[in-house]
C-alpha cells in the first residue's frame, strides 16, 4: 500500500504530527526513529521480552505489537516522560537505590509495566510482584533486586501509620 499516513499523537504531553509512508511501521520504530525517543528499547520484536513497553492512554502495551497508525489521536507515555519536575519518578529512584539494573536495557519496560499495575495494586506481596513482572525479561540483573526495589517503593509510598 502506498501513500502517506498521518499520525497525530501526544507523547509525554507534547503533540506530534507526522506523516509516515508505511502503514506497517511499528510504534516502537515510530517512537525511536521518527520522534527520537530512544528510551523505548526493542529486544525481541514479537511481544515476548517487554522491553518496548509504553503507556497507551494509561495502559501498558508492547509497542512492537502495535502499528504507529493505530495510535493516531491517542496519548502515550514513554520512559522519557516519567520524571517529575526533573526528578526521577519514585519508582525509578527505587530502582536506582536498590541496584535494580545493570545495563538498563530492560528497565524502561519494567517501569512502564509496573507503574499502571501499582496503581491498581497499591500494596502487593512478593508473589504478586513476581507475577506482575513475569512478562518482562532481564538478562543481567536478575529479578531479586527488581522485586526489592518495588517493595521499597511500595513501603515508601504507604502513609505512615
Ligand atoms: S521488543 Fe516488544 S516485547 Fe520484546
Ligand atoms: S538490566 Fe540488563 S537486561 Fe535488565
Percent of the chain, pLDDT > 70? 97
Q: Which of 48, 105, 113, 133 to mutate to test the pocket of ligand 1 (most atoms within 8 A of CB)?
A: 48
Residue 26, beta-bridge partner list = 67
Model pLDDT, residue 142: 82
35-45: per-residue pLDDT in tens? 999 999 999 99
Q: Is the CB of 109 under 6 A from ligand 1?
A: no
Amino acid at each position: 500500500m502506498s501513500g502517506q499516513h498521518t499520525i497525530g499523537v501526544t507523547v509525554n504531553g507534547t503533540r506530534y504530527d507526522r506523516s509516515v509512508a508505511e502503514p506497517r511501521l511499528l510504534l516502537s520504530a515510530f517512537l525511536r526513529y521518527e520522534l527520537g525517543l530512544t528510551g523505548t528499547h526493542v529486544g525481541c520484536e514479537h511481544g515476548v521480552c517487554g522491553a518496548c513497553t509504553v503507556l497507551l492512554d494509561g495502559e501498558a502495551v508492547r509497542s512492537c505489537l502495535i502499528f504507529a497508525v493505530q495510535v493516531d489521536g491517542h496519548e502515550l507515555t514513554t520512559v522519557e516522560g516519567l520524571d517529575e519536575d526533573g526528578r526521577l519518578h519514585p519508582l525509578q529512584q527505587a530502582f536506582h537505590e536498590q541496584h535494580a539494573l545493570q545495563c538498563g536495557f530492560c528497565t524502561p519496560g519494567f517501569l512502564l509495566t509496573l507503574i499502571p499495575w501499582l496503581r491498581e495494586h497499591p500494596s502487593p506481596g512478593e508473589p504478586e510482584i513476581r507475577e506482575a513482572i513475569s512478562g518482562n525479561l532481564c538478562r543481567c540483573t536478575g529479578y531479586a533486586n527488581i522485586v526489592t526495589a518495588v517493595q521499597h517503593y511500595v513501603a515508601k509510598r504507604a502513609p505512615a501509620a
